[in-house]
């Protein structure tokens, strides 16, 4: 048997089902690994070993009571981690912010509840850019997370902790959130699979809001089959979320392994220009070759408003954020800086509680919504959003999948972009249009450049994640790129 940290979640579940290993042994294995290796990586804000072991023991007992140990298709017994902006009852949920450092939610996010109900074991909460604002995990109020491929580089962000933990084999998979690329970009930079589902496919209840019309929770996994299996647990209608799509539940794994001969692949020329570094483009071109070999018809196409999407995004997301983050006022929970008068208390609390990037975006968003600027900025951005969405509508009339790079660069050195917000924002140039349009997109590893992973982004039609996963799976199987692992993993 392979070592647990080199196995996929589905392989681990199968092994548990076959009673080759107990749920408790699996949990302890990964907890030990985190204890040993996370000191240099710093992907977890906190682990919950007692809870995890207690949950694992209870699951083993349940398993012992079953006539047949095999639980069809599930992830029963598999450990997981969640980004620290997803609420967990009784476990602090900090958003990597001072302002929520002491906050303990009295409720579980819908995705967490579904995980528990499906018999999965939570190991801990992962590091992130504060309130999911960032592309490098350097905006955590607590510490930076490092990329397991090269500890001098960033893991990407904002779900950098989740991506690094999965890539380093500290946990079989993790959940992140994606508002402008925050699942896909760190997945790309850490060489794993990350999916941003269609807006409305996964409940946002319990995800601490950054930009409500863009946020989606998504899986970060070792391979595409695991990604589909996690979607089977977390996706589906939730009456606690008014923006959750009222669609019947579906099997995201159903089309895996199907032939993709004849599918039409569009390659947006805006994604393959100078914006992406040559090494990235070269890996993507290799991937397009693999798709052609599989029988796909690959053609260049256009998403003409791509260059405007980033600007629209950096108005819409901060505007919504400025409102979503107003509730951190020191009244009901979180940090409070005392003052004689309540508005002074607000100002001091928020000054001390928020980091510079969060403040920057609150300021930008407040400005964009304020009297006299609403039409020129916020409303304008919403109109551009319409144009960006139309680009996708038009492209999907002709193509089944759009393919390009996930991120314009591979993992960059820690500290190299922190001085210049605009430069940092440009990391999101290929990922934000997807959020503006609400469509699903997956990042799968497509090779290495300078010894660092490159991510291939595949974008699909709304609510056709099963098709997208089918294409990604076919590519992954043919290219073998998901088997690339950092030394941290192969060395044990």
Partner 1 sequence: MAISRDEVLHVARLARLELGEDEIEEYTRQLSRILEHIQKLQRLDTKDVPPTSHVLDLKNVLRADETRPGLSREEALSNAPDAVSGFFRVPKIRES
Partner 2 sequence: MDSATAAEFEPVIGLEVHVELKTKSKIFCPCPTKFGAEPNTQVCPVCLGLPGVLPVLNEGAVELAVMAALALNCDIRPSSRFHRKNYFYPDLPKAYQISQYDHPLATGGWIEVGAGASRKRIGIKRLHLEEDAGKLMHEGSIETAARSLVDFNRCGVPLIEIVSEPDISSPEEAKEYLQVLKSILQYAGVSDCRMQEGSLRVDANVSVRPTGSAAFGTRTELKNIGSFRSVVRGLQYEIRRQIEVIRAGGEVLQETRHWDEQREVTVALRGKEEAHDYRYFPEPDLVPLHLDREWVESVRLKLPELPEARKRRFVSDYGLPEYDAGVLTASPSLAEFYERCVGLYGRGEGRPKTVSNWVMGELTRFLNANNIEIEEARVTPSHVVELLRLIEGGSISGKIAKAIFDRMCETGEMPSQIVRREGLGQISDESEIAAVVARVIEENPKVVGDYKSGKAQALGYLVGQVMKATGGRASPGLVNRVLRERLG
207 contributes a contact to partner 2 by CB under 8 A: yes
Burial code (b: 16+ CB inside 10 Å, e: under 16) for 385-402 equals: beebbebbeebbeebbbb
Is 383 noted as a catalytic residue in this protein? no
Alpha-carbon gap, residue 464 to 408, rounded angstroms:
26
Question: From the list 248, 343, 419, 491, which residue makes contact with partner 2 (rule: CB under 8 A)?
Answer: 343
* C-alpha count within 13 angstroms, C-beta hemisphere, residue 459: 28
CB nearer to partner 1: give 338 or 491.
338
DSSP-derived 3-state class of residue 258: coil
Active site residue 158: yes
Residue with Cβ nearer partner 2 (212 or 416): 212
| Number of alpha carbons in the 13 Å side-chain half-sphere of residue 220 | 40
CA distance 60 to 26: 11
Q: How far is the CB of 364 from partner 2 (least distance, A)?
A: 13
Strands across the sheet with 79-83, in order?
44-47, 121-126, 79-83, 173-178, 216-221, 193-196, 441-449, 452-459, 401-405, 264-268, 297-301
Distance between CA atoms of residues 221 and 118, nearest Å:
17
Q: Stretches 25-33, 204-212, 254-262, 304-312: which one binds partner 2 (CB under 8 A)?
A: 204-212
Stretch that binds partner 1, among 55-63, 140-148, 340-348, 482-490 (CB under 8 A): 340-348
Q: CB of 179 within 8 A of CB of 213? A: no
With respect to partner 2, which residue has the nearer C-beta, 240 or 254?
Answer: 240
Cα–Cα distance for residue pair 118/111, rounded to 1 Å:
11
Determine which one of 43, 136, 158, 427 is catalytic: 158
Figure out which of the listed residues 101, 241, 286, 464 binds partner 2, where binding follows CB under 8 A.
241
Q: How many residues bind partner 1 (CB under 8 A)?
A: 70
Closest CA to 60 of 2, 4, 19: 19
Q: Is 329 a binder of partner 1 (CB under 8 A)?
A: yes
**Which entry of 43, 136, 182, 431 is annotated as an active-site residue?**
182
- How long, in residues, is the chain? 492
Which range binds partner 2 by CB under 8 A, 106-114, 160-168, 355-363, 442-450? 106-114
83 catalytic? Reply is: yes
| Contacted by 149, from partner 1, partner 2, none: CB < 5 to 8 Å by type | none
For partner 2, the binding residues (CB under 8 A) are: 85-87, 93, 95, 100, 103, 105-107, 109, 204-209, 211-213, 239-243, 319-320, 322-323, 326-327, 329, 331-333, 342-343, 346, 366, 369-371, 374, 378
Catalytic (active-site) positions: 83, 158, 182
């Amino acid at each position: 048997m392979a070592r647990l940290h080199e196995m996929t979640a589905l392989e681990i579940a199968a092994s548990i089902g076959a009673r080759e290993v107990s749920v408790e042994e699996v949990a302890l294995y990964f907890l030990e690994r985190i204890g040993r290796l996370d000191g240099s990586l710093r992907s977890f804000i906190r682990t919950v070993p007692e809870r995890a072991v207690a949950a694992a023991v209870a699951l083993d007992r349940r398993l012992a009571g079953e006539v047949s140990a095999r639980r069809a298709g599930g992830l029963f017994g598999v450990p997981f981690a969640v980004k620290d902006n997803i609420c967990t009852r009784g476990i602090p949920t900090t958003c990597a912010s001072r302002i929520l450092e002491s906050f303990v939610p009295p409720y579980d996010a819908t995705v967490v509840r579904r995980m528990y109900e499906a018999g999965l074991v939570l190991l801990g909460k992962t590091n992130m850019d504060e309130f999911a604002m960032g592309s490098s995990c350097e905006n955590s109020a607590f510490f930076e997370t490092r990329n397991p491929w090269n500890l001098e580089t960033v893991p990407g962000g904002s779900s950098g902790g989740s991506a690094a933990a999965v890539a380093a084999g500290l946990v079989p998979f993790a959940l992140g959130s994606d508002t402008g690329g925050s699942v896909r970009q760190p997945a790309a930079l850490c060489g794993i699979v990350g999916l941003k589902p269609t807006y409305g496919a996964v409940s946002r209840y319990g995800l601490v809001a950054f930009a409500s019309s863009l946020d989606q929770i998504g899986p970060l996994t070792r391979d595409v089959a695991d990604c589909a299996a996690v979607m089977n647990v977390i996706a589906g209608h939730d009456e606690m979320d008014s923006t959750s799509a009222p669609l019947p539940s579906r099997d995201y794994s159903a089309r895996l392994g199907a032939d993709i001969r004849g599918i039409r692949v569009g390659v947006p020329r805006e994604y393959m220009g100078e914006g992406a570094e040559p090494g990235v483009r070269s890996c993507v071109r290799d991937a397009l070759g693999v798709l052609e070999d599989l029988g796909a018809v690959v053609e260049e196409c256009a998403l003409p408003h791509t260059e405007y999407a980033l600007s629209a995004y950096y108005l819409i997301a901060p505007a919504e954020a400025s409102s979503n983050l107003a509730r951190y006022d020191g009244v009901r929970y979180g940090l409070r800086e005392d003052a004689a008068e309540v508005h002074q208390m607000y100002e001091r609390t928020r000054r001390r509680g928020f980091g510079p990037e969060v403040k920057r975006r609150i300021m930008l968003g407040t400005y964009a919504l304020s009297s006299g600027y609403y039409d020129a900025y916020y409303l304008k951005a919403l109109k551009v959003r319409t144009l960006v969405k139309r680009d996708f509508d038009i492209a999907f009339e002709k193509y089944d999948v759009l393919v390009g790079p996930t991120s314009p660069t591979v993992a960059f050195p820690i500290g190299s972009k922190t001085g210049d917000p605009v430069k940092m924002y440009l990391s999101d140039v290929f990922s934000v249009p997807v959020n503006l349009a609400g469509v699903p997109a997956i990042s799968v590893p497509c090779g290495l450049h300078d010894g660092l992973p490159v991510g291939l982004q595949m974008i699909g039609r709304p609510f056709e994640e099963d098709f997208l996963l089918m294409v990604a799976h076919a590519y992954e199987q043919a290219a073998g790129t998901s088997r690339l692992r950092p030394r941290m993993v192969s060395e044990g």
